[in-house]
Amino acid sequence: MGQLTLSAVRKSYAPLEIIKGVNLEVRDGEFMVFVGPSGCGKSTLLRMIAGLEEITAGDIHIDGQRVNDLPPVKRGIAMVFQSYALYPHMSVFENIAFPLRVEKLPEDKIKSQVEQAARVLHLESRLQQRPGQLSGGQRQRVAIGRAIVRHPKIFLFDEPLSNLDAALRADMRIELARLHKQLAATMIYVTHDQIEAMTMADRIVVLNGGVIAQVGAPLELYHKPADLFVATFIGNPRMNLLPVTAVASDGAGMTVDYRGQRVTLPVAARPTEPGTALTLGIRPDHVQIGPADLALSLKPTVIERLGPQTVAYASTEAGDGFCALLPGMAGVRVDEPMLAGVRVTDCHLFDAVGRAYERSIDLSQMDAGLLRPAVAA
């Protein structure tokens, strides 16, 4: 078992409050990702779960037991850090075996556990080498091995891949997802990288300034961001934001005006004073060439050709910055105006304080298996 509950958890480094009341339930066996900008409190929250940091207020329960006052070793957790924290003078075998030696396990038990972890992590041929002889990815696997042999209820990872180059990060993402499947363990994974969050998580917790902005499956956050912060944090290139004014709210949704053009968006209407300033959100990947419900005349200023996709950074006739992600070798050129269209069903709408109007897209009607990343064991 590895179920975790955080209740009204707070942390202050006087006079600053860093974690401002976090409530969260992590299910047994779940791969939960904490994501958010640098300094938002991800590591602090993880260290409080681990017991490396005292909590200022609130409660932490693991499998129903209150662990506020339990030292780290008694919590049944294992933590893997960005800096691998390996012993350079010890072999890979001894690095992985270290927690078992501390527990004074018999030699044959240690050997079988280390070998089992090495098999899972494809490190069998490296056991007699020193960390200095390994690549960054292999070193991180040794650090994970040291966590695995402890059979923790919950694995905690703090940006474990941030030191690796991009190609290796992509490989390790897949390995970690597979490891999660094999071990069926609860994992909490901290990253500032939204791609890591989207590709590995069962659910993502988006943190902003010490509070949870939203918790949900990756595609839930993509399709139904709760506010402007989540909307612009999840998705790459980031969501375009255009200033609009409210015209009417009724059963059909919200009618808004973008610089003289009126569209009705299928979102849950809220009584909104006509003329109220709102924000229209459009993901670059929802822009098509040619007219649609909303038509925009764009003038590209920068074009990036990635091969499978073309990214056009442009401005609208009104001078609002706007990015379009187009499939393949789109025939767009710098300084040549292009007509772009967006379907109203793809639009997002936010109120003056940045809260999203609920979109009518019904994720519960979608195949649940399609909402999450998946990997074969």
Contacting positions for ligand ADP (CB under 6 A) = 13, 18, 36, 38-44
Cβ proximity to ligand ADP, 53 vs 202, nearer residue: 53
Among Mg ion, ligand ADP, none, residue 18 binds (CB under 5-8 Å by kind): ligand ADP
Q: What is the maximum span of the chain, computed from C-alpha positions, in angstroms?
A: 77
Cβ proximity to Mg ion, 30 vs 53, nearer residue: 53
Give the C-alpha separation, 145 to 131, whole Å.
13
Cβ contacts of residue 90 below 8 Å, gap of 6+?
Answer: 98, 130, 131
Minimum Å gap between C-beta 38 and Mg ion is: 7
Minimum Å gap between C-beta 42 and Mg ion is: 5
Give the C-alpha separation, 299 to 223, whole Å.
27
Among Mg ion, ligand ADP, none, residue 13 binds (CB under 5-8 Å by kind): ligand ADP
Is the omega angle on the peptide bond into residue 88 within 30 degrees of 0, that is, cis?
Answer: no
Minimum Å gap between C-beta 172 and ligand ADP is: 19
Cβ proximity to ligand ADP, 12 vs 288, nearer residue: 12
Among positive and negative, which fits the CA dihedral 151, 152, 154, 156?
negative
Closest by CA position to 142, among listed 188, 78, 94: 94
Among Mg ion, ligand ADP, none, residue 44 binds (CB under 5-8 Å by kind): ligand ADP
Minimum Å gap between C-beta 358 and Mg ion is: 32
Instruction: Retrieve residue 171's tokens.
Output: 């490989």
Cβ proximity to Mg ion, 175 vs 193, nearer residue: 193
Interface residues with Mg ion (CB under 5 A)?
Answer: 43
Residue nearest to Mg ion (CB): 43
Closest by CA position to 246, among listed 268, 277, 271: 277
Minimum Å gap between C-beta 56 and ligand ADP is: 12
Q: What are phi and psi of 319, to 5 degrees?
A: 90, 10
